[in-house]
Amino acid sequence: MDAGSLSLLLTAATAAGWVDAVVGGGGLLLLPALLIGLPQVPLATALGTNKMTAIAGTTSAAITFARRTRIDWRVAGPAGAIAVVVSGIGAWLAIALTPNKDVYRPVVLGILVAVALFITFRPNTGIYAHPERRTRERAALAVALAGGLIALYDGMIGPGTGTFLVLTFTTVIGADFLHGSAMAKIVNAGTNLGALVVFAWGGHVWWQLGAAMAVCNIIGAQIGARMAIKRGSGFVRIVLLVVVLALIARLSYDQWLA
């Protein structure tokens, strides 16, 4: 690998760690960078190396959030545990079926547009917590969505998972953006672990490169987590909207212009 490609990947890993720690969605920075910087490797290897990088930063951010904020472990714990298994199934499907990203891109794009409109026209969502929403039924729904559907998507494709998790916790159980992001890190660490185990078992991880990128991802994640905790839910909301719009622009380019 030439120095330019390595610099691109290390920079992308740092930026992705920051974005993931605040609102999620760093995978849409890191995975395209891997595909550009490593055009010779199979898609499964790019996905596996991405997971090795992401789990380092996500786990680091999860530890920071757990130490400094209150996490609803009754939701985040079961969702994270289920996510390990379900994301592993998704990773197995990614290896076995070699899914065409063109099939998923319009679906994800539509979801992100809906998320952007929701955040824009419901400006108070996620700014304040609404504990009255946290009923047993809603908690079970959040666990099912986060640990099931979103975890399966993360194992198969991945980018945008953190964003979907944050929105799940804020809309379903009424968490504010800061605490929703904290719970999202717990679940995202589980999805990354499950997928990484399967990709590693299949020999689809470039360990040396992944280790170097993981260090940069941790640095970005620690900066992002501390900024989110210090500046609160308003800051997280703004970053979330910017990231979602950037993801829409990226997917739109891939869909129609690339």
Q: Is residue 217 scored above 90 in pLDDT?
A: yes
Going by C-alpha positions, the residue among 257, 108, 44, 85 that lies closest to residue 187 is 85
User: What pLDDT is attached to residue 107?
Assistant: 67
Picking from 145, 21, 140, 134, the residue whose alpha carbon sits closest to that of residue 83 is 145
**Dihedrals φ, ψ of 40, to 5°?**
-85, -10
**DSSP at 133:** G
pLDDT in tens, 127-139: 778 888 889 999 9
**Strand, coil or helix: 98:** coil
Tokens of 78: 């079961």
CA distance 255 to 184: 28
Domain count, the chain: 1
pLDDT of residue 150: 95
- Domain with 56, as residue range(s), is 3-257
pLDDT, one tens digit per residue, over 2-51 is 788 889 899 989 988 998 888 777 877 787 788 777 878 887 888 899 99
Read off the pTM: 0.82
- What is the reported pLDDT for 249? 83
Which of 54, 47, 50 shows the shortest CA–CA distance to 20?
54
Judge residue 127's burial from the number of C-beta atoms within 10 Å of its C-beta, 0-12 exposed, 13-18 middle, 19 or more buried: middle
